[in-house]
Amino acid sequence: MAVRAVNTYSLLRPSSPSLSTVPRFFSPHHPLPSALRFHPPSSSHVCHTQTRSIKSLFETVMEELQAKRKLRKKIVSVNASSSNTELLNEEHVEDRLVKRSLQKGLLLEFKKDSDKILLAVAQRPDGKKNWMVSDQNGVTSSIKPQQVTYIVPGISNFDQADITHFVQKAQYNMDPSLLEFAWFELHEKNKSVTVEEMAEIIFGRVEPLESYSAHLLLSKDEIYFTILESKGLRCVYGPRPSEQVEELIRRKVAKEAAEKEFQNFIKLLGSAKSMPSHDKPSKSSWQDDEKIWSRIESLEAYAIDACISDKQRETAGIILKEMGLAKTSSSAVNLLIDIGYFPVHVNLDLLKLRIPTDHLEKITSAAQSLLSDSSDPDEINRKNLTNLKVYAIDVDEADELDDALSATKLQDGRINIWIHVADATRYVQPGSIVDREAMRRGTSVFLPTATYSMFPENLAMGAMSLRQGEVCNAVTVSVVLHDDGSIAECSVFNSVIKPTYMLTYESASELLNLNLEEEVELRILSEAANLRLNWRRQQGAVETATLEARIKVSNPEDPEPSINLYVENQADPAMRLVSEMMILCGEAIATFGSRNNIPLPYRGQPQSDINLSEFSHLPEGPVRSFALVKIMRAAEIDFRKPARHGVLGIPGYVQFTSPIRRYLDLLAHYQIKAFLRGEPPPFTSGNLEGLASGVNEKVRAVRKLSNSSLRYWILEYLRKQPKERRYRALVLKFLKDRIAALLLVEVGFQATAWVSVGSQIGDEVVVKVEQSHPRDDIIYVKEVARG
């Protein structure tokens, strides 16, 4: 039975009741006295008597220990001013430390790994140095001598079955207040202590259990004692200086407070996880407390692989571990979704690519100032074309309308086409704050869930856009076609137009099919498109029309949003009409720029010596287009002169029709507009090349984002469809054996699946979607027999 300390400061022998009555001379909740010494109240004779009894007992214990050993006196000089004072008492270390070697039956403590300490019984030698031991978990293993951290004294043949009970009793003795008491006494007397001596001081006996308990207390202690000297497994401990103890206690208190605060944060996360979705904290509420917000930021950075420091990564890892989650980015994503910080369908790529979604207030204010300025530097040079019937054709959800079309037939039967492009430079000039922001963005971002404009909305969707029934400023490209579809004449000028119709592709196709007499201009545009297509084919153009999915998500923040999917057939008459007119405009601007020696971003694309006859066996449309696209080379840009665009089948091409959406189009406008004013172009070819390099990098990032977002929502759409739904699919290519690349016709989406023997490229098969996991970008498609 261990000795217990009771009353104020007296030590009693084995019959004492409880360790919990050991007095705490100081603790994190009771600061140390200034001198860290006990001063009994002068008015209490009892306290004086008890203090003397403690000192007498301590001296008696030390005398008894010294009498059992052969001691030699040694005067140890103590440097009181040093924070690392060595207290070796008055005897040699060798005389105070009992050397123990491994023998069968001994109870020992050893390191299982870097974090785990176990008790075990030595069984037998294993080789020259190692020992086989049976630990407290019943596992027998071989350990090296350096793994042993303590040999419990006074035991010769310990039963392995009793280890668990021994550990439990040792844990019962783990009262840190015992070390506080011992530190006070040993610090007073400038004494060092061995493990066994500590057991005698705090428990009143040196039995195996008490010795091991003292070892545990000392080995885990980080405040009161430090190792002064060690010989193998044998150590001499000394009390730390009072100033150091005081500082360590302060650190411990701070650490415990921080740990408590952190655990409160973990409880907060757990509480938010358990709440219904409509009751979860708002995203902004996590920012109210600085510490909470810092941790949430660490989790968010970890979720999108964007940690800016090791500390941020470590913080996120600790949070995930405390929440019982794996240290992975997907775990962080799911946790942030579960607490309501992320919506269920959070766009991770949007966060990872750091695509800006809002315009700063200074940008929107600058844009508003531009709108307040009614001056138009090109007003006197604008041609009034408000008499023309003007068609603007785009997707139904388009907010930025930057091009429109007009057409008529000349007396000689040739077709005159006008491509009207929104005059963005009416409001923004090179180098302005609004221009620099547009350049930083590079392009507008069109996602199924939202549009993030290159310009502030009051410009992009307001004054700059072409609006039905309103007088609008434009840059008009006028083209007269030869009968074969080639360009006979072209000119570029500032204009004023009044758009007549804002049509979707679907409504434009319907009007074309109706062939209404009053919409003769639309029929002329369609005729011109057919002439152009035939002419480009004769010039070697490569057709790549296919089926493409378009998705609109109206409420993306909801766990179950509404998803509308449309499949665009690029061979549709209205889409064909618009694409041909855009190509025509690009060719006309390239011709105009070349003729007037204007530096522009001229796009070219080699054909890679494509022999179209080699693909004649493939069905026209998506299957043939898929095969052709795979062998095409990337487009190239020359900023001095046009380069042939072999894929389009034209001598030169400049993107010009989307200055509100694409910054390179805006650069072309700056150059053309300066020429029309009789001014030198604002940018040299070298300037354009440097600007285009940075802009194209942004464009590539946005293209990646757009593709991944579209794919995510297609997978989510497919996930929500009935499991029994069947889809028609075209075999595009065989990847390996019978594994084929397929195009799901009703969805405009490519997937892979095993197809039955006999299926050929271009064949139609029927498939079903067995699984679709948008967050993991996984889809499983299986061919089914036709019913």
pLDDT digits (tens, 9 = 90+) for 185-220: 899 889 999 999 999 999 999 999 999 999 999 999
Per the domain annotation, does 630 fall within a domain? yes
Distances (CA, A) of 86 to 81, 90, 429, 601: 11, 12, 77, 79
Q: Please tell me the least confidently modeled range out of 229-238, 274-283, 341-350.
A: 229-238
pLDDT digits (tens, 9 = 90+) for 666-701: 999 999 999 999 999 999 999 999 999 999 999 999
Question: What is the reported pLDDT for 59?
Answer: 54
Phi, psi of 474 (to 5 degrees): -150, 165
Average pLDDT of 329-335? 96
Question: What is the reported pLDDT for 95?
Answer: 57
Is the pLDDT reported for residue 375 higher than 50? yes
**260 by DSSP, 3-state: which?**
helix
Q: Looking at the structure, do residues 731 and 674 belong to the same domain, yes or no?
A: no
Q: Please tell me the least confidently modeled range out of 161-170, 455-464, 604-613, 632-641.
A: 604-613
Q: Looking at the structure, do residues 430 and 572 belong to the same domain, yes or no?
A: yes
Phi, psi of 639 (to 5 degrees): -100, 5
Q: Looking at the structure, do residues 289 and 192 belong to the same domain, yes or no?
A: no
pTM for this predicted structure: 0.76
Q: Looking at the structure, do residues 567 and 431 belong to the same domain, yes or no?
A: yes
CB contact set of 219 (below 8 Å; sequence gap of 6+) = 149, 150
pLDDT, averaged across the chain:
87
Per the domain annotation, does 26 fall within a domain? no
Query: Into how many domains does the chain fold?
Result: 4
Average pLDDT of 253-278? 95
pLDDT digits (tens, 9 = 90+) for 724-776: 999 999 999 999 989 999 999 999 999 999 999 889 999 999 999 999 999 99
Question: What is the reported pLDDT for 43?
Answer: 35
Average pLDDT of 319-340? 96
Per the domain annotation, does 545 fall within a domain? yes
Q: Looking at the structure, do residues 515 and 567 belong to the same domain, yes or no?
A: yes
Per the domain annotation, does 674 fall within a domain? yes
| Cα distance between residue 114 and residue 457, in whole Å | 59
Distances (CA, A) of 312 to 270, 298, 350, 577: 21, 5, 21, 53
Length of the chain: 787
Is the pLDDT reported for residue 474 higher than 70? yes
Determine contact, residues 293/313, Cβ cutoff 8 Å. Answer: no
Q: Residue with structure tokens 């030169």?
A: 652
Determine contact, residues 730/764, Cβ cutoff 8 Å. Answer: yes
Nearest-10 crossing angle of helices 163-172, 208-220? 60
Question: What is the reported pLDDT for 115?
Answer: 76
| Cα distance between residue 242 and residue 530, in whole Å | 95
Q: Looking at the structure, do residues 211 and 252 belong to the same domain, yes or no?
A: no
Is the pLDDT reported for residue 358 higher than 90? yes
Average pLDDT of 346-371? 94
| Cα distance between residue 612 and residue 376, in whole Å | 50
pLDDT digits (tens, 9 = 90+) for 459-472: 998 899 999 999 99
| Cα distance between residue 339 and residue 276, in whole Å | 10
Strands 234-239 and 193-194: antiparallel
Q: Looking at the structure, do residues 605 and 742 belong to the same domain, yes or no?
A: no
Question: What is the reported pLDDT for 44?
Answer: 38
| Cα distance between residue 437 and residue 512, in whole Å | 40
Nearest CA to 61 among 258, 196, 162? 196
pLDDT digits (tens, 9 = 90+) for 48-96: 333 344 344 445 544 544 443 333 233 223 333 333 334 444 455 555 6
CB contact set of 758 (below 8 Å; sequence gap of 6+) = none
Average pLDDT of 140-157? 93
Structure tokens at 212: 């091991």
Nearest-10 crossing angle of helices 663-676, 685-720? 140
Per the domain annotation, does 400 fall within a domain? yes
Question: What is the reported pLDDT for 180?
Answer: 92
Where residue 440 falls among pLDDT bands split at 50, 70, 90? very high
Structure tokens at 787: 């019913």
Q: Please tell me the least confidently modeled range out of 70-79, 231-240, 523-532.
A: 70-79
On the 0-12 / 13-18 / 19+ scale of CB atoms within 10 A, 132 is middle
| Cα distance between residue 30 and residue 6, in whole Å | 19
Nearest CA to 523 among 586, 577, 583? 577
pLDDT digits (tens, 9 = 90+) for 554-599: 999 999 999 999 999 999 999 999 999 999 999 999 999 999 999 9
Which residue intervals of 417-560 are DSSP H helices? 433-441, 457-458, 505-514, 520-538
Q: Looking at the structure, do residues 395 and 415 belong to the same domain, yes or no?
A: yes
Per the domain annotation, does 411 fall within a domain? yes
Question: What is the reported pLDDT for 23?
Answer: 35
Q: Please tell me the least confidently modeled range out of 8-17, 25-34, 622-631.
A: 8-17
| Cα distance between residue 415 and residue 550, in whole Å | 33
Q: Looking at the structure, do residues 761 and 676 belong to the same domain, yes or no?
A: no
* HEC per residue, 388-420: CCCEEEECCCCCCCCEEEEEEECCCCCEEEEEE
Distances (CA, A) of 207 to 15, 95, 186, 439, 613: 16, 20, 21, 80, 97
| Domain end point (choices 342, 364, 396) | 342
Element (H, E) at 257: helix 242-274
Per the domain annotation, does 561 fall within a domain? yes
Question: What is the reported pLDDT for 63?
Answer: 53
| Cα distance between residue 423 and residue 404, in whole Å | 12
How much of the chain, in percent, has pLDDT values that exceed 70? 87
Is the pLDDT reported for residue 97 higher than 80? no
Q: Please tell me the least confidently modeled range out of 97-111, 176-190, 404-418, 584-598.
A: 97-111
Determine contact, residues 112/118, Cβ cutoff 8 Å. Answer: yes
Nearest CA to 163 among 110, 107, 218, 122? 107
- Higher per-residue pLDDT: 611 or 133: 133
Average pLDDT of 473-483? 97
| Domain end point (choices 240, 264, 284) | 240
Question: What is the reported pLDDT for 13?
Answer: 29
CATH number at 762 reads: 2.40.50.140
Where residue 553 falls among pLDDT bands split at 50, 70, 90? very high
Q: Looking at the structure, do residues 484 and 632 belong to the same domain, yes or no?
A: yes
Q: Which amino acid is at 358?
A: D
Residue ranges making up the domain that contains 300: 244-342
Q: Looking at the structure, do residues 662 and 569 belong to the same domain, yes or no?
A: yes
Per the domain annotation, does 90 fall within a domain? no
Question: What is the reported pLDDT for 230?
Answer: 85
Question: What is the reported pLDDT for 17?
Answer: 32
Question: What is the reported pLDDT for 82?
Answer: 34
Q: Looking at the structure, do residues 325 and 201 belong to the same domain, yes or no?
A: no
